[in-house]
């Protein structure tokens, strides 16, 4: 049984026992292991962790966009009950955009530099909808209006390099939403933007996602972002889930020492903030995925590690109602 699988209904998106491997000279090694989760319509699931923990590989696998030499070794990815991993390339291309779409981290590299913004959105619409060029262009303008693009008619005939970073990200969101997909995957969508624009883009994504009833998976390293938009959170470390809970449960009762460490690195605001406050950090670095420690992968960095942690990998278990973690320290917390 997984932390978020329910027998009562079929979720919009369901990932079960997903394992992602990289080929190397000495054989394959896992970059993501035993990943399972579900997402319902209108729900935002955030996947959080440091660089190198497997977040982006997970995101790319969900659209079958893994780079060469990386593959899904086993597992299941189901969209509205249909097995995505069993589809041929044509079916996959039909599903992308129409059922599932992605907002990439850097739109300047994700958008086609030789096509105008309007042409790119209209092209996606015509790929998935039976419509004329004029109708597709009208839908492109509608999509730009939906994401509150200033002067959408003008922006539609501009190229990506002619837009600001915030406008490019709005164009990327419009492209993702143009065909009304059921699932949006956003991989660090505000990393390259300044703080003010970040807040605008996150607010826009959240508002549109709730209004349209779209399921969303947000990949981020920033728990500050998570606190603003998430319904549920998965914390990843060294290619595995180490904690999963609702946003309120996670912030009120974090169980895994890694999650607690990440929270200590989030700046405090408001009345609780004091001059001279220092952010906590987590000693050490994420271990190489091809050379993981014998027991808990976090044990070498954990301030609470016991001998058992160094020898045995803890199972991912429900420690509190609806709150799952992989930690020996909380073995009796359920």
Give residue 115's domain range.
100-180
Which pLDDT value is given to residue 197? 85
Assigned domain for 268 exists: no
**Residues near 87 by Cβ (< 8 Å), separated by ≥ 6?**
95
CA distance 276 to 65: 45
Which pLDDT value is given to residue 333? 45
Question: In a 3-state reduction of DSSP, which class is residue 215?
Answer: strand
Assigned domain for 274 exists: no
Which pLDDT value is given to residue 209? 86
Which pLDDT value is given to residue 334? 42
Side by side, the strands of the sheet bearing 232-237 are 100-103, 183-187, 215-220, 44-48, 232-237, 240-246, 323-325, 317-320
Assigned domain for 232 exists: no
Backbone dihedral angles phi then psi of residue 229, each to the nearest 5 degrees: -125, -20
Assigned domain for 319 exists: no
Which pLDDT value is given to residue 270? 46
Which pLDDT value is given to residue 278? 62
Instruction: State the pTM of this model.
Output: 0.89
**Residues near 123 by Cβ (< 8 Å), separated by ≥ 6?**
115, 136
pLDDT in tens, the chain (334 residues): 455 544 457 789 999 999 999 987 778 889 999 999 999 999 999 999 988 899 989 999 999 999 999 999 999 999 988 999 999 999 998 899 889 999 988 888 889 999 999 999 999 999 998 899 999 999 999 999 999 999 999 999 999 999 999 999 999 999 999 999 999 999 988 877 788 888 888 888 888 888 889 999 999 988 888 988 899 999 999 999 999 999 999 999 999 999 999 998 776 554 444 555 566 678 888 888 888 999 999 999 999 899 999 999 999 999 999 999 999 987 654 4
CA distance 86 to 100: 16
CA distance 287 to 268: 28
Assigned domain for 12 exists: no
Assigned domain for 161 exists: yes
Helix-, strand-, coil-residue percentages of the chain, each rounded to 5: 35, 20, 40
Model confidence over 169-215: pLDDT tens digits? 999 999 999 999 999 999 988 877 788 888 888 888 888 888 889 99
Question: In a 3-state reduction of DSSP, which class is residue 128?
Answer: helix
Which pLDDT value is given to residue 108? 84
- Counted domains in the chain: 1
Strand pairing report for 215-220 and 183-187 = parallel
At 9, list the tokens. 């209904």
Which pLDDT value is given to residue 147? 93
Considering only CA atoms, give the Rg of the chain: 21
Assigned domain for 41 exists: no
CA distance 16 to 204: 30
Tell how far CA 233 is from the center of its chain. Answer: 10
Closest by alpha carbon to 15, among 100, 76, 105? 76
Assigned domain for 129 exists: yes
């Amino acid at each position: 049984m997984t932390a978020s699988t329910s027998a009562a209904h079929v979720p919009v998106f369901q990932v079960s026992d997903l394992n992602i491997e990289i080929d190397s000279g000495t054989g394959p090694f896992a970059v993501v292991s035993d990943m399972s989760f579900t997402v319902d319509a209108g729900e935002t699931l955030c996947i959080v962790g440091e660089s190198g923990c497997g977040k982006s590989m997970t995101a790319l696998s969900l659209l079958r966009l893994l780079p060469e030499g990386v593959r899904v070794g086993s597992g299941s990815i189901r969209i509205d009950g249909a097995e995505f991993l069993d589809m041929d390339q044509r079916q996959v291309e039909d599903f992308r955009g129409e059922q599932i779409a992605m907002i990439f981290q850097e739109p300047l590299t994700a958008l086609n530099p030789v096509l105008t913004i309007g042409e790119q959105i209209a092209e996606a619409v015509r790929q998935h909808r039976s419509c004329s060029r004029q109708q597709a262009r009208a839908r492109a303008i509608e999509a730009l209006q939906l994401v509150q693009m200033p002067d959408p008619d003008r922006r539609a005939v501009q190229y990506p390099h002619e837009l600001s970073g915030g406008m490019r990200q709005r164009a990327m969101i419009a492209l993702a939403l143009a065909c009304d997909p059921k699932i949006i995957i956003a991989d660090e969508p505000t990393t390259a933007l300044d703080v003010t624009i970040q807040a605008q883009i996150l607010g826009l994504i959240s508002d549109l996602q709730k209004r349209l009833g779209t399921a969303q998976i947000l990949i981020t390293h920033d728990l500050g972002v998570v606190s603003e938009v998430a319904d549920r959170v998965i914390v990843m470390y060294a290619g595995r889930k180490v904690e999963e809970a609702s946003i309120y449960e996670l912030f009120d009762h974090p169980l895994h020492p890694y999650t607690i460490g990440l929270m200590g690195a989030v700046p405090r605001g408001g009345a609780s903030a004091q001059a001279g406050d220092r952010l906590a950090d987590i000693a050490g670095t994420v271990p190489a995925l091809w050379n993981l420690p014998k027991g808990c992968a976090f044990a070498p960095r954990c301030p609470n590690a016991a001998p058992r942690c160094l020898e045995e990998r803890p199972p991912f278990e429900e420690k509190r109602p609806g709150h799952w973690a992989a930690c020996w320290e909380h073995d009796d917390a359920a």
